[in-house]
Homo-oligomer: A and B are copies of this chain.
Amino acid sequence: MMAPIRLGVIGAGSAVWSIRLVGDLCVTKDLWGSTVVLMDIDKRRLGIIYELAKRYAKETGAEFKFVATDNREEALRDADFVINAALAGGHHNYELQREVAEKHGYYRGIDAVDHNMVSDYHVFGGYNQFKLFTDILLDMERLCPDAWLINIANPLLELCTLGTRVSKIKIIGLCHGHLLYRDLASTLGLDYRRVTFEAPGLNHCIWLTDFRYDGENAYPLIDEWVEKYAEEYWKGWEPEFWDTQMSPAAVDMYQRYGLFPIGDTTRSGGWKYHYNLETKKRWYGRLGGFDSEIGWQTYLSYLQKRIERLEEIASDPQKSITEEVPPVLSDESVVPVINSINSDKEAIYQVNVPNNGVIPGIPHNVVVEVPAVVSAKGARPVQVTPLSKRVMEMVIKLRIFRMELGLEAFLTGDKDVLIEELLSDPRTKSPEQAEAVLKAIMSLEFNRGMAEHYGKKGRELAL
């Protein structure tokens, strides 16, 4: 193996993420000689990352051929690997959508529901995101049927489950959220490099089933911290927006469900933590967590500033990109996973693939997040310790229930399914409210396709 690859990157204009991808590629010599087709419909953003990618290779002496295109077919044709990093419509439109939903009484949007509060995880209102994903699959079946699709786009659980059910394309979902076990370790005063852990579940809903320090069970250290040090820790706490791993919400989830939540999992939970900003602040500190109106705006501003900085560098040939983003392998597993598959180098990664019995109690055809041995054979999940009863019955099953509703709505174009979901939402106070919010969302310019998709059917049964 070790042959150069052709890699298509859909949504390469996600510049903050893409520049890390470029950095990781450039420090991975096994992949030198490869062609990387950067694709985005946002030409400005695409221009930035294209310029920076070429400069990154030059500065590091890495040998890559970068191509920039706004044509998806060009990015997919004959690809060996495809990365989907796109947010169809972009943050701006989803913020508009959230605003409309809030006017109809849906705080943080219709997709912020119990056990799924992450603000860019659009299960019901994410038609564009689903449509783009299935379009990519259809294109791949035609243009590169043997390629691997590495999906990092959200809603990752829904997209990967949908994709593995409807297409033969080989799909691996990757998310870096599990790495937050390091925050847990360091808060306990542990060197994370001496920690091993296991946190299986569903994407953004993973739970620490095994936690060791120098090979010894380290869960008692968590209990000790919760009992003796947590209150003290939270007294002087001034968390950043991403800083939810050791929040009171995370500890409460641990006490409620019996396993410590890891990474993005801590951002969700039941309504208990999310009713309003005041509640969110109580459970996540001063910003109300990643997904409050404050936390999320902080995140979007951060992204904006980073893009502006990257644009500044791109537009000034005198500036160095490797000074800004040093040529060291990042924590993202996308490039290492591609390299493991391409070079048949067995290594263990946290991946999202169909369950097929790895986690007892989850249907075979639901994509789970589990450790897996990745090589040219693909991703072979490693047997994990089963989740606690409460995690399974009170969280996972509800999360899967909503995922299935989301997929069923998209697959059938039956608006009734969306209505059914909204009628079981504690924020819905009347069927009229549910109808109205969907109508308002589908009236948004960028949801024209959604309106058409769900406008096909309509049934009224009156007495």
Contact = CB atoms under 8 A, between A and B. Distances in A.
Interface of A: 114, 234, 237, 248, 251-252, 255-256, 270-272, 275, 279, 281-283, 285, 361, 363, 389-390, 393-394, 397-398, 400-401, 404-405, 408, 416-417, 419-420, 423-431, 459, 461-463
Contacts of A429: 426, 429
Contact of A463 (B281, B361, B427): B281
Contacts of A462: 248, 282
A428 B426 CA distance: 6
A256 B416 contact: yes
Nearest to A271: B423
A114 B252 CA distance: 27
A415 B423 CA distance: 25
B426 A272 contact: no
Contacts of A390: 408
User: How many chain copies does the complex carry?
Assistant: 2
Contacts of A237: 463
Contacts of A463: 234, 237, 248, 281-283, 285
A46 to B, nearest CB: 39
A429 to B, nearest CB: 8
A393 B401 contact: yes
A428 B285 CA distance: 25
Contacts of A279: 431
B283 A420 contact: no
Nearest to A424: B114
A249 to B, nearest CB: 9
Contacts of A275: 430-431
A430 B275 CA distance: 7
Given A248-B461, A252-B461, A461-B252, A408 B423 contact: no
Nearest to A423: B271
B270 A424 contact: yes
Most buried by B among A114, A279, A390, A428: A390
A389 B248 CA distance: 38
A389 B417 CA distance: 13
A275 B424 CA distance: 11
